[in-house]
Amino acid sequence: MKFEVTILGSSSATPVYNRNPTAQLLNCNEKFYLIDCGEGTQQQLIRFGIKANKIDFVFISHLHGDHYFGLIGLLSSLHLNGRIKPMKIFGPPALEEILALQFQHSETVIRYPIEFVATQADKPVQIFENADLTVETIILNHRIPCTGFKFVQKKRLRKLIIERLEADRVPVEYYPLLKRGADLDLPDGSTLLNADYTTDSERPRTYCYCSDTLMDERYFESIKGADLLYHEATFLQDMLERANQTHHTTALQAGQVAIATGAVKLLIGHFSSRYKALPPLLDEARTVFENTELALEGNTYSVP
């Protein structure tokens, strides 16, 4: 099952050096989840040849403009381009008012349903569930209320070994129980052992998105054991004081978070405009956590 994230924006605060403010597109089993939506996200989607109408869910971490100024334009364009299927948006409570005010004054009545779900940045809760995954908030420590998002794939049903089932003439009405992992006692007194007829399904994987935050142990429990951890790394460690003042993280700290929480792989982004070249940030994170990559725009990273 596809579980991968495409970077649409990797810049902090302002666009610079052809880097756009934060936005990511998560593809889980060909359903598309937009995570944050800085200005120009719809242009980035066009640039990378991604149809915006594939997105059915939007998750906004907080109301600093570099994480959401592109949302109103994206929603408007979907309307103008004839979208009719619903869109579900998760974000801080005031986001609904901000969107509504702008629709009101353009006299736009969006022709597809928008369901808005307000997030709270007080304690981690599950905010979404479908057949593929659940989404929980991660309570980050930023200057304004800010939540990350943890996308957890669901444990899938066991895979049937069809050739063996057919060879042994196991009736198809038993298949659903076998998929759920049961051994079957047959009317003739014999037993079908599940292990003979199924294999384990893919291990469910987890993607954690930590947008803007001070390094703070209080959210470590939430992101424990992430297969792919995206963590902001706005500064190099020599700017630690500035990072603390602005409630951001250094590349070194992002690596430390990855170690402390047992991540499999780390993706760093939200780069300050002071860094034209990004390799120093990567090198610094790798001094503590080797399996790190830069979140580069247009690149897609599979959740390992």
Between residue 19 and residue 38, which ones bind a copy of itself under the rule CB under 8 A? 20-21
Is 256 a binding residue for a copy of itself by CB under 8 A? The answer is no
Is 43 a binding residue for a copy of itself by CB under 8 A? The answer is yes
> For a copy of itself, which is the closer residue by CB, 38 or 255?
38
Is 162 a binding residue for a copy of itself by CB under 8 A? The answer is no
Which strands sit side by side in the sheet containing 3-9, from one edge to the other?
Answer: 114-118, 87-91, 55-59, 31-37, 23-28, 3-9, 300-302
124 DSSP assignment: -
Is 81 a binding residue for a copy of itself by CB under 8 A? The answer is yes
Is 264 a binding residue for a copy of itself by CB under 8 A? The answer is no
159: amino acid identity, one letter: K
DSSP assignment of 233-302 equals --B-GGGHHHHHHTT--BHHHHHHHHHHTT-SEEEEE-B-TT-S--HHHHHHHHHH-SSEEE--TT-EEE
Is 1 a binding residue for a copy of itself by CB under 8 A? The answer is no
Reported as type and span, the H/E element at residue 194 is helix 194-197
* The only residue of 85, 105, 123, 276 in contact with a copy of itself, by rule CB under 8 A: 105
CA 266 to chain centre: 13
* The only residue of 2, 54, 80, 130 in contact with a copy of itself, by rule CB under 8 A: 80
Enter the tokens of residue 208. 């954690």
Could you tell me if 260 and 246 are in contact, meaning their C-beta atoms sit under 8 angstroms apart?
no
- Catalytic residue from among 66, 132, 196, 216: 66
CA 125 to chain centre: 15
Choices 12-20, 149-157, 182-190, 286-294; region in contact with a copy of itself by CB under 8 A: 12-20
How far is residue 217's CA from residue 222's CA, in Å, rounded to a whole number? 10
Is 94 a binding residue for a copy of itself by CB under 8 A? The answer is yes
> For a copy of itself, which is the closer residue by CB, 148 or 255?
148
Burial class, 51, CB count within 10 angstroms (exposed 0-12 / middle 13-18 / buried 19+): exposed
Is 50 a binding residue for a copy of itself by CB under 8 A? The answer is no
Q: 66 an active-site residue? A: yes
Q: Which residues make up each annotated binding site for Zn(2+)?
A: 62, 64, 66-67, 142, 212, 270
Which positions touch a copy of itself (CB under 8 A)?
Answer: 13-16, 20-21, 39-40, 42-43, 46, 63-66, 69-70, 72-73, 76-77, 80-81, 92, 94-95, 97-98, 101-102, 105-108, 143-144
Active site positions, annotated: 66
